[in-house]
């Protein structure tokens, strides 16, 4: 049985769990349905807060802001996607709006990861180019000193 998705932040262990109540609370606080959720940090923060309430009923929105600040948007999206995919209302109905949202969050996390990998690859190529230019300059300097 799913007891929630555990993660660490702010030197504490948290459990994120999405049941019908969590989705209902999220929709109420966001002011719209999950199916129309925007890829905004505000919506993500409110969704995270709603999912934390079952196991941390006293958690304040300000604490959730601190969690997001510490872990970053990409990590939060991964955690939300994992928790939503395992939630009782969604786990057997992957084509529901919530399932689409979970997949959208996961896809966004994959896109960000791919962009970071591409940036690292480009940085490696840039470093190699600088090394080659430095070596070329040293060779030219050596040739000029020999003439």
What are 42-95's pLDDT values in tens digits?
A: 888 999 999 999 999 999 999 999 999 999 988 888 888 888 888 777 665 544
- Residue 96: pLDDT band (50, 70, 90) is very low
Angle in degrees, CA 73, 48, 101, rounded to 5: 75
The CA distance from 40 to 100, in Å, is: 16
The CA distance from 78 to 101, in Å, is: 12
- pLDDT given for residue 125 in this prediction: 92
DSSP string, 71-85: H-HHHHHHHHHHHHH
From first CA to last CA, the distance across the chain in angstroms is: 80
Residue pointed to by tokens 């555990």: 6
The region of weakest confidence among 23-27, 84-88, 108-112, 124-128 is 108-112
Q: How large is the average pLDDT for residues 2-26?
A: 91
Domain ranges of the chain: 5-114
Top pLDDT among 34 and 112 is at 34
| pLDDT of 114 over the 80 cut | no
């Amino acid at each position: 049985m799913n007891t929630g998705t555990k993660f660490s932040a702010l030197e504490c262990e948290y459990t994120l769990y999405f049941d019908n109540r969590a989705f209902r609370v999220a929709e109420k606080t966001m002011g719209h349905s999950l199916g129309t959720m925007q890829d905004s940090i505000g919506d993500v923060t409110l969704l995270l807060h709603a999912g934390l309430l079952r196991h941390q009923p006293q958690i304040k929105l300000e604490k959730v802001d601190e969690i997001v600040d510490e872990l970053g948007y990409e990590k939060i999206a991964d955690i939300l996607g994992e928790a939503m995919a395992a939630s009782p209302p969604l786990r057997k109905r992957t084509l529901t709006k919530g399932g689409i949202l979970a997949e959208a969050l996961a896809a966004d996390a994959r896109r960000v990861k791919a962009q970071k990998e591409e940036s690292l690859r480009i940085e490696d190529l840039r470093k190699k180019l600088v090394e080659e230019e430095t070596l070329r300059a040293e060779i030219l300097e050596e040739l000029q000193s020999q003439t």
